[in-house]
Every structure is written in structure tokens, then in C-alpha cells.
Amino acid sequence: MKKQIPVTRCQYCGSEDIGLGWQHGEALVTFKCHGLFGNRLRLYICRRCGAVLCQCVAEPYKFPPVKNGRY
Ligand SMILES: [Zn+2]
């Protein structure tokens, strides 16, 4: 299975040096992935200018679809 990276290049400074970070429930951004539960957010960060290029949840399938859902 190929790992997909949504961004490979910084749209702000053009750097291709992208770092991966993790944001946990307490809104703390870390560089480690620990724990199996919680609302983990995966962050792709430009290592040159520090811009957050993309945020992805770790388990997107856990969230209910909007299309068919009712509010
Ligand atoms: Zn950048």
C-alpha cells in the first residue's frame, strides 16, 4: 500500500521539505504519533517557513458522511 502525501511542496515558499506533525486532542502539535484513540490530526508542515499545508484526521472513516446524514 502506497502512502499518500497530499502535499509535496509548500505553496507559500516553494520548499519541498515537508515535515509531518501530529495534533492531539489537547491542541498540542507534536512530532510523535502516540496513542490509539482521540481526535488526532495529521499536519503537514513546511520545514522552511513553518506553514501548515494540510491537516488530515487520522481516522477519517470514523466520521459520519454528510451526504446521507441527517442533522
Ligand atoms: Zn514554506
Confidence of residue 50 (pLDDT cuts 50, 70, 90): very high
- Quick: pLDDT tens for 6-47: 789 999 999 999 999 888 766 556 665 555 555 678 899 999
CA of 11 to the centre of ligand 1 (A): 7
What pLDDT does residue 39 have? Answer: 63
What pLDDT does residue 19 have? Answer: 94
| Residue extents of the structural domains in the chain | 1-71
Backbone torsions φ then ψ of 41, nearest 5 degrees: -120, 130
What pLDDT does residue 30 have? Answer: 60
d(CA 16, CA 9): 4
CA of 13 to the centre of ligand 1 (A): 4
d(CA 41, CA 22): 6
What pLDDT does residue 18 have? Answer: 95
Residue 11 to residues 2, 38, 71: CA-CA distances in angstroms? Answer: 23, 29, 35
CA of 34 to the centre of ligand 1 (A): 26
